[in-house]
Each structure stands twice: as C-alpha cells, then as structure tokens.
Structure 1
Amino acid sequence: MLLKPARLAAVVLLLGCGAARSSDACPALFADGRAPELTNPKLAPRTLALCFDAYAVLHSGVARTPLYAAEHLTRASVAAARLVERIDAFHDEDRVPPDDRARLDDYVRSGFDRGHLAPAGDMPTGEAQAQSFSLANIVPQDRVLNRSLWAAIEESTRRLATRRGQLFVVTGPVYAGDGLASINGRVLVPTQMFKAIYDPVAGEGGAWLAPNDGSGTFQSVSLAALRTIAGIDAFPSLPPGQKASAITLPEPRAYSRDDIANHRPRGREQTWQDWLGHEAVRALHRALRQLLRAIF
C-alpha cells in the first residue's frame, strides 16, 4: 500500500525525534533563562539535562524517569499545537546511557500509563510532538489520573496560557518515602505529580499537586511549598515573596475529556484505510528504529 506524502513525512519526523538539540535552545524554555534547581541532594546522582525543540528535561538515571520537564507556552504555540495531528510513537531515548534509561518493555503489562511530563498536546509542530514521546519525558502514571484529572490540568494550563499570552511551565514527579514502587524492577513510580506555572507579566505563579492514583483529588500550592514537597525549585530566579504567594489556579475538573477533545480541530471521520495507514507508519517506524540500532 502507498503512503500519502504527509504520512511519509511523519515517518521521517519520527525517525529524527531522538536527535540532539543545541543547548543554546534551552534558556528560552526557562523563566529568566534559569533552569529549575534541585534542592533535595538525593535527586542529584546520575542526572542528565536534555534539550528538545519545545521542552527540556532533567533525566534521572536512578529513577529512570525525568525529574522535570520545562516549557514556555505562548498563545501562538498553543494555537499551533491544536492543529497538529497526534501520532503516538513512544521510543527509548538514545542520548541516555542504556543502564540509566527506561525501555519500552518496562511499561508492558505494568498497569501504568506512559505519562507525558511535557504533553504531546502542547507541541506546536509534528517534529516537536514526535520528540515528546521520548521515554526521557515519560513517567509511570496511574491510568485514571492520566486520562481524567491530569488531562484536564494540562488543558487548563493551555487555556490559561492562551488567556494570559504566555506561561512558563515546569512539570514533574514527586518521589516521597522510602518504599517506592517500581515497574519491571527498574523504573520508579511517582507518589505524586506536579505542574507549576509562572506568568512573567503578572509576576505570579503556583502549582497543581495530585497523588499518582485514581482518587481525582488535587491541591493548589505555592511555589515555595512545592519546593519543599518536590525537592525542586521550579523557578529559581523568582524572589521569595513571589514564590510564597500562590496564584488562584483554574479548577481543572471544569474540563471533561469531551471538552478537551472538542477543543481540538476535527477532520473528517476516520476510515479503516486511515487506521491501516496509521498502523503501517507505526510499524515502519519501529522496524526502522530497530534496524538503525542494529547498525549503530
């Protein structure tokens, strides 16, 4: 079967999704050009900073997950992202040493979703979206949380960025306690998830914090409180007063999954030929990646 040019282009983009990006691109993703800082020294061993087109992460070789993902959302980038067709293509991150990175098979029959920190729905281009499926941007996330409350928090963030014009966003896991669970004996499971935002025009910020379970509960906290809970200073350039005073965040449960889906442009009804073509792209992508690994 022949693939349409757009689908062939998608294959090319997917093959390039692990490509390294210049570190010069990273400061634009951080408030005042300063990356989040670890305040808990237990998180520091075997960390690796990685830049992508539309987000940056600090990856932990101990947890085999990212410790944070940083983004700069603007009204224009959110509008562009809503026009990008989603093509799922999770993949190992080749820039992370093999012993320090998660593998696709770690998540098979794990009972957890592969949860994005920097969401695919934030990505303003097809290439940026393909990069978001790197496992360096993924944590084991409770399926109910990922598909309901967390999806609504992500949508709330995009709508807030649209309303205010721009936001700096830092998303990450919390690993609390000594008896942490893991999947496949390798990848640590977060106990909580956070999404911190900062509006540089208004000079205010705050964070959503939710347990990594299906309870549907969350709390809004100040950036100072988040620093204590997560061991990460999301926006280190801000003065203490701004960190201590929390913005009033939108109520994420106001958005259902239908609301989120309906906010994205819809094309024609998908046919079985569309589905078959999509699956062919995914299969070709997997085969080519395996071939490239065998060669290099």
Structure 2
Amino acid sequence: MLLRQELRAVLVTAALTLRACAAEGAETCPTLFADGRRPALTNPKLAAETLPLCFEAYAVLHSGRARAPLYAAERLTRAGVASARQVERVDAFHDEDRVPAEQRARLDDYVRSGFDRGHLAPAGDMPSGAAQAQSFSLANVVPQDRVFNRSLWAAIEESTRRLATRRGLLFVVTGPVFEGGSLAAINGRVLVPTQLFKAIYDPVAGEAGAYLAPNRADGDWRAVSLDVLRGIAGLDVFPGLPPSVTAAAMSLPEPRAYSSDDHAARRPRTHEQGWQDWLGRELARALRRAFRDVLRAIF
C-alpha cells in the first residue's frame, strides 16, 4: 500500500514537472526568434494586456486591448516551405481559449464585418497539418481588407516563401500597424489595422528589411528599413541587430510577380462545394479541437 502511494506521488510529481516545463516552453519558444530574442515593444501604449503564445511553427504576442496579435514570428526554412506546399489547406478558424474571454476575438466578430480573417503567420507557411490547424487561431488573425488580403498581401506572403527557398533560412515577423486617434473596430471589439508589415532577416547574408502596405484595396507596398519600421509600428522586430543591418532595407522581391491565381494553382485546397465538403471540413475542425483539448488535459 505504501509503495503504491509512493509510486502515485512520483507520478504526480512527474506530471506536474512535465506541465511546468510545457508551460515554460510555451512562454519562450526561442527557436522561432532570431538569436532567441523576442521582438521588443518600443511604444509603451501597446504593452497593456499582452500575452505571449507559442504554437508549433509560430509565436505571437496577443493584445487584449486590440483583441488581435501585435506580431507573429516564424523561422522559415527551405525544407519547411517545401513541406508546407504538400499540406492540403482546410480552413478551421477558431477562438483561442488560452486568451481571457473578454480579451480575445470571437468568430462572430467577423460575421458580416466586411473584413477577411487575415493570418499574420500564413497557413501557407505551415509545414504540417497540425501546424496549419493552429494557424487558424484567432490569436493569429487581424481584420484585413478583402481585396488586399487576397491579392497584394497574398503575393507578399508567397514572395517571402520563395525568398526563404532561395536563401535557405529566414526569420520573419509579421504584424499590424495601428495609426491615428480613432481606429475602426469590427463589432466594436477588434481593432482594424491601418497598415501591415512583414519584416525579414537573413542571418547568413546579414540583411534585413520589411514590406509595408496599407490595409486597403487600392494601396501599394514599400520596402522600409527596420529602423523606419520601429518608428511606425512601435516594435523592434529583431532586437540586437547591429545598426548597419537595421539602417538599410534589403532588396525585397516584387510580390506582384506571384499572383494569387498562380499560388492557388500550386497549392492543393479543399473545394467549398456541396454538403459533403462542408461536413468534411466541420469534422476535421472538431477533431482538431478535440485533439488540442486532449493535449491540454495531459499537459
């Protein structure tokens, strides 16, 4: 009897230790950041009610004030992009239950809002089905103009993937810019970005820069240095880089060379026709949520 009690105590202690380690890893996830360092907020107004979250292939800093992420960080490799191109896309947007209920976006916030649920870390970057499912968390989503999201922004995402394929390794930080004293909010809850950026750092070449584009249908993009981006976004995306890297914007590929039609033709995607397809998507979503709940119950 005593042996059983001692064994049970050991198992409980091991479980608690494993849970603590998992929680610690979820807070830090250093492999997703250049030199293991998280982006640093330089605008103190952004710091309130923030929560760092880690996923399999990306990390975010979530804002309870904006009810949206302030950034998503990724480590893109040639092999990872190749794997991602083989993953069939299944849309499964879901609330992020690690964020307090009053601080997170809900699926109904986007209903009839006129905006897309725009990924920061793209589903097309995710190297596995599980990672892709995690990318549909609303903690990784901001309201995006529909035309912009499906055209120029999709092309910027594809341009970044192709650059990662050519160079082998990139660190990428994507985020919103909230400018002005009176920001729009969908459903009176989720702030709408005025611009979006995708910052890129090539640690081998020692180059960095960022795409910056307005969140509207008729906008254009421009390349900016990390110093310029810091002043606009209030975020030091790659802390610790030398001034010689942050002061000049690297040469970024023209994203319009990669049309959304070309991207869709190369990436398999489920068809949205018929009740069978709808049922399949809903079952896949339910299974993913159940699997996530089981993992959280264990850890």
- The two structures have a TM-score, normalised by structure 1, of 0.86
Aligned-residue offset at 1:245: 1.2
2:167 alignment partner in structure 1? 164
Q: CA deviation at 1:272?
A: 5.3
- CA deviation profile, 1:40-86 (whole Å, cap 9, x unmatched): 00000000000000000000000000000000000000000001111
The residue that corresponds to 1:125 in the other structure is 128
Q: From 92, 111, 114, give the equivalent of 1:111.
A: 114
Greater share of helix:
2
- Quick check: 2:209–2:225 contact (8 Å CA) kept in 1? yes
SS at match of 1:151: helix
Displacement after TM superposition at 1:216 (Å): 3.7
Alignment match of 1:40 (pick from 38, 43, 55): 43
Say which SS state the counterpart of residue 80 (structure 1) adopts: helix
SS at match of 1:109: coil
Q: Extract unaligned runs of 5+ from structure 2.
A: 1-21, 295-299
Question: Where does 1:122-201 land on structure 2 (aligned, <5 Å)?
Answer: 122-201=125-204
Aligned equivalents of 1:80, 1:288: Cα separation in 2: 25
Aligned to 1:206: 209
- 1:275 partner amino acid: D
Q: Give the structure 2 partner of residue 278 of structure 1.
A: 280
* TM superposition shift of 1:261: 1.7
What's the CA shift for 1:263? 2.8
Write out per-residue CA displacement over residues 106-129 of structure 1, whole angstroms, 9 at most, x where no aligned residue. 000000000000000000010000
Q: Is the 8 A contact 1:66 1:138 kept in 2?
A: yes
Corresponding residue pairs, total = 272
Find the residue that maps to 1:22 and give its secondary structure: helix
- CA drift at 1:25: 6.3
Change over 3 Å in CA distance of 1:236–1:284 after alignment to 2: closer
Please give the alpha-carbon distance, in whole angstroms, between the structure 2 residues aligned to 1:62 and 1:201: 37
| Inter-CA distance 117–236: structure 2 relative to 1 (3 Å threshold) | same
| Alpha-carbon separation, structure 2, partners of 1:122 and 1:183 | 27
Once residues 76 and 283 of structure 1 are traced to their aligned partners in structure 2, the CA distance between those partners, rounded to angstroms, is 27
In 2, distance between residues paired with 1:63 and 1:124? 29
- Please tell me the residue identity of whatever aligns with 2:160: T
1:250 matches 2:276: no
Question: Separation in 2 of the partners of 1:134 and 1:81?
Answer: 18
* Post-superposition offset of 1:275: 2.0
Instruction: Provide the rounded CA distance (Å) in 2 between the counterparts of 1:148 and 1:160.
Output: 18
Q: After TM superposition, what 4+ stretches of structure 1 lie above 6 angstroms from structure 2?
A: 286-289
In the alignment, residue 55 of structure 2 is paired with which amino acid?
F
Amino acid in the other structure paired with 1:263? R
- Structure 1 partner of 2:265: 262
DSSP 3-state at the match of 2:171: strand
Aligned residue among 41, 59, 63 for 1:60: 63
C-alpha distance in 2, partners of 1:231/1:266?
A: 36
Residue 201 of structure 2 aligns to a residue in which SS? strand
Whichever residue aligns with residue 184 of structure 1, its letter is N
Match of 1:241 in 2: 244
Query: How far has the Cα of 1:283 moved from its partner?
Result: 7.2
Question: What TM-score do you get using the length of structure 2 for normalisation?
Answer: 0.85
Residue deviations 1:226-274 (CA, integer Å, cap 9, x gap): 000100001012011210011010000111112112333589x998586
SS of equivalent to 2:118: strand
The structure whose Rg is larger is 2
* Distance in 2 (alpha carbons) for counterparts of 1:242 and 1:280: 46
Shift of 1:278: 2.2
- Structure 1 residue runs of 5 or longer lacking an equivalent are 1-18
Alpha-carbon distance in structure 2 between the residues aligned to 1:166 and 1:241: 20
Look up the SS of the partner of 2:56 in the other structure. coil
Q: Secondary structure at the match of 2:147?
A: helix
